[in-house]
Chain A
């Protein structure tokens, strides 16, 4: 994805950070409903709300996934508007694998809420017709060493939510050692966003395969990244995921 690669904090990135902080608060304060539509509207005075929704993707729905509450029709409508405003690139000659994976996750999560997104304009087409297992990274894993595998994995955290049983998740469960290596390496490189994303993957299957380093790593990253909302969002997700039986 090439939506938010600029180093300078543009208006667009500022909106993404603000929405990330909103979602983070909702995850921590999960006793209360998450007013997604209202939060996006508050960001939207300068037209940057839909972009922020598209960048965060399925993660804006994570408070619903993890609390068991259903989003309101208005919440779903802002997601649909964002998908339309920022459509996936053309699927010819081949769909972008990152867009395909992220939209696969979005499509699946919406379906759990009883929302059929198959007719949505802007959604990556393969998301709709994709298999139940979802996209895998196995080709990457076969051809590259663990650092590259972990880097690819960090871009696919949209798939790291309870209930999304993708081929990628099966790969991470089978390669926990590599995942912890990627986490430690990212921390040593001070790449806290990648570290937080890999920690989230680790959190996902922590009930099946406990990782004693996960908790100190999450705390460490929280304290070193206190001013980085997107890192904090990944960490809050990791924490909520470990608290949720799945």
Chain B
């Protein structure tokens, strides 16, 4: 990827992170509400923030100011979860739920641990019930990836689950819609642990994405669907032979607001950041992940991947 495009991605990421820091209070959870009554969307937003900050820390390609903002946001998110107690309470209240485990995994990966929660989730993962949840396949891959991140043994077979996903079926490329596209991106995120292990993606799917990802990037770029587009850009840099789309980064940079927010491209953002937050924090979080992984892969490409014989 050209130096100019790397610089562009870097700037988009720094400014997006600035915005997240500025609207940090919007990620706060209600302090007086019992864990199990907290709005699912609020919990989801906070977990996505934590995920992005984990990636920023893991890749370590940010400047010192941005890195400090990311550390502060990660610390903030952990505090909002009462240092993990809130997730523990959630898991106790709803043992069959998988989201406490998934959220916790981002913190565990950065060194924020909660032994009681880990003991509980390890027990739950060993139950027969954990093998047969009524979840769509890419969600089960998410649980598997989270368990691996924490170090909890889990019995699901990734190859079997992958074959059941939209991507795993290598469908006719014109059948992709937004819903399946989000399923596809997450299948790649979970199989490669957000780009850390590109070899987690079967070769057949790597080849399929090499063929068709450019089509989908083009389609959603033309539509200005920045939220989904940024996720597809992450997919590109999760591959063994990464795809960079410098011309698309120019479009995202143009779409980014002066204050750093990246609009979703679907709904019109409010002028006040606090009111724009609800619909546009997600694309901004995704932009941080996409820029971080793009810069990281562009600066230190992995060794050329070799196919296994046969």
Contact = CB atoms under 8 A, between A and B. Distances in A.
A225 to B, nearest CB: 13
Interface in A35-87: none
A189 B216 CA distance: 11
B202 interface: no
Given A184-B173, A188-B174, A216-B172, A177 B211 contact: yes
Interface string A176-191: 0100110111011100
Contact of A180 (B176, B211, B216, B222): B211
Contacts of A181: 211-212, 214-215
Nearest to A195: B174
Nearest to A188: B219
B218 interface: yes
A184 B211 CA distance: 11
Nearest to A189: B219
A185 B211 contact: no
Given A180-B211, A181-B212, A188 B176 contact: yes
Contact of A217 (B174, B218, B219): B174
B171 to A, nearest CB: 10
Contacts of A185: 215, 218-219
Interface residues of A, number: 16
A115 interface: no
Nearest to A178: B214
A146 interface: yes
A187 B176 CA distance: 10
A183 B214 CA distance: 12
Contacts of A146: 214
A180 B172 CA distance: 11
A5 B142 CA distance: 49
A180 B212 CA distance: 9
Contact of A147 (B174, B216, B218): B218
A111 interface: no
B236 to A, nearest CB: 15
A80 to B, nearest CB: 41
A220 interface: yes
Contacts of B219: 185, 188-189
Contacts of A213: 172-173
A217 B214 CA distance: 19
A175 to B, nearest CB: 13
A217 B172 contact: yes
B257 to A, nearest CB: 27
Nearest to B247: A145
Which one of A145, A181, A184 has the highest number of Cβ atoms from chain B below 10 Å of its Cβ? A184
A184 B214 CA distance: 11
B174 A220 contact: yes
Contacts of B212: 181, 184
Closest 4 CB pairs of A and B: A187-B174, A184-B173, A184-B215, A188-B219
Interface of B: 172-174, 176, 211-212, 214-216, 218-219, 222, 247
Given A181-B212, A184-B172, A185-B215, 4 more contacts: A147-B218, A180-B211, A185-B219, A189-B222
14 contacts: A145-B247, A147-B218, A181-B211, A181-B212, A181-B215, A184-B173, A185-B215, A185-B219, A188-B173, A188-B174, A188-B219, A189-B219, A217-B174, A220-B174
